[in-house]
Structure 1
Amino acid sequence: MPVSATSTLPATPTLSLRDDTFDAANLTAYHLYAVASPGRLRLAVLDVARHKIVAFDDLPANSLAELPAVAASTLLGQPGWARLRLALGGGASPLLPAPLYRTGDETAYLGLHHALAPSEEALAYTLPLPAPATDIVSLFAAPGSLVQWLQRVHGPSARLLPQASALLGGLLHQRGPGAAPRQLYLSLADYELTAVVLGTQVEFCNSFTVSTAEDVAYYTILVMQELGLNPDQDTVTIWGELTSDSATFALLSTYVRNLRFGARPFGLQYFYYLNEVAEYRHFDLFSLAFCE
Structure 2
Amino acid sequence: MWASGFAHSPLIQATPEEYYALLLFGSGAWPFCSAYKWPHATARFYGWPPWVYLWRASPDFCSCFLFLPMSTATVTMPPAALHRLRDETLDLDSLAAYNLYLTAGPAGLRVGVADVRRNKFVALDEYTAPEAGVSVAQQALALAADHDLLGRTGWNRVRLAVQNRAFTLLPAPLFRAGDEAACLQLHHALDPQRESVHHYTHPGLDITSLFAVDTGLSSWFRNAYPAGRLVHQTSALLQGVAHQSEQGSPRRIYLSIGQQEVTLLAMNGKQPEFCNVFPFSTPEDLIYYTILVMQELQLNPDQDMVMVWGDLMHDSELFTILRKYIRNLRFGNRPFDLSYSYRLNDLFEYRYFELYALHLCE
Q: Same fold (TM over 0.5)?
A: yes
Q: How big is each residue's C-alpha offset from its partner over 1:93-122, in whole Å with a ceiling of 9 and x where there is no partner? A: 110110110100000011111112212111
Give 1:72 shift. 2.8
- Provide the residue aligned with 1:161 in structure 2: 231
Query: Is 2:268 aligned against 1:199?
Result: yes
- Provide the residue aligned with 1:58 in structure 2: 126
Q: How big is each residue's C-alpha offset from its partner over 1:12-66, in whole Å with a ceiling of 9 and x where there is no partner? A: 9621000011112221110011110034001110011111100000012532332
Give identity over the alignment, percent.
Answer: 51
Query: Is 2:334 aligned against 1:264?
Result: yes
Q: d(CA) in 1 for partners of 2:340 and 2:176?
A: 39
- Provide the residue aligned with 1:142 in structure 2: 213
- Provide the residue aligned with 1:85 in structure 2: 159
Task: Give 3-state SS (helix, strand or coil) of 2:300's partner.
Answer: coil
Q: How big is each residue's C-alpha offset from its partner over 1:198-239, in whole Å with a ceiling of 9 and x where there is no partner? A: 004211000111232222212111111121111111100001
CA 1:79–1:221: 2 relative to 1, 3 Å = same
TM-score normalised to structure 2 length: 0.73
Give the aligned length. Answer: 276
Task: Give 3-state SS (helix, strand or coil) of 1:207's partner.
Answer: strand
Choose the corresponding residue for 1:237, options 307, 316, 337. Answer: 307
Q: d(CA) in 1 for partners of 2:212 and 2:121?
A: 29
Give 1:245 shift. 1.3
Give 1:242 shift. 1.2
Q: d(CA) in 2 for partners of 1:91 and 1:79?
A: 30
Q: What amino acid is the match of 1:187?
A: S
Cα pair 2:137 2:220 within 8 Å, conserved: no
Task: Give 3-state SS (helix, strand or coil) of 1:276's partner.
Answer: coil
Q: How big is each residue's C-alpha offset from its partner over 1:101-153, in whole Å with a ceiling of 9 and x where there is no partner? A: 01000000111111122121111111113xxxx31111111123333332222
Structure 1 residue runs of 4 or more that deviate by more than 4 Å after TM superposition: none
Cα pair 1:61 1:70 within 8 Å, conserved: no
Q: What amino acid is the match of 1:207?
A: V
Q: d(CA) in 2 for partners of 1:143 and 1:247?
A: 32
Query: Larger relative CO (CA 8 A, sep 6+): 1 or 2?
Result: 1
CA 1:230–1:97: 2 relative to 1, 3 Å = same
Q: Give the superposed CA RMSD.
A: 1.7
Cα pair 2:81 2:125 within 8 Å, conserved: no
Q: d(CA) in 1 for partners of 2:95 and 2:344?
A: 21
Task: Give 3-state SS (helix, strand or coil) of 2:109's partner.
Answer: strand
- Provide the residue aligned with 2:7 in structure 1: none
Q: d(CA) in 2 for partners of 1:72 and 1:13?
A: 15
Larger Rg: 2
Give the number of the structure whose residues are more often helix, by fraction: 1
Q: What amino acid is the match of 2:261?
A: E
TM-score normalised to structure 1 length: 0.90
State which drifts further: 11-20 or 274-283.
Answer: 11-20
Task: Give 3-state SS (helix, strand or coil) of 1:50's partner.
Answer: coil
- Provide the residue aligned with 2:353 in structure 1: 283
- Provide the residue aligned with 1:68 in structure 2: 141
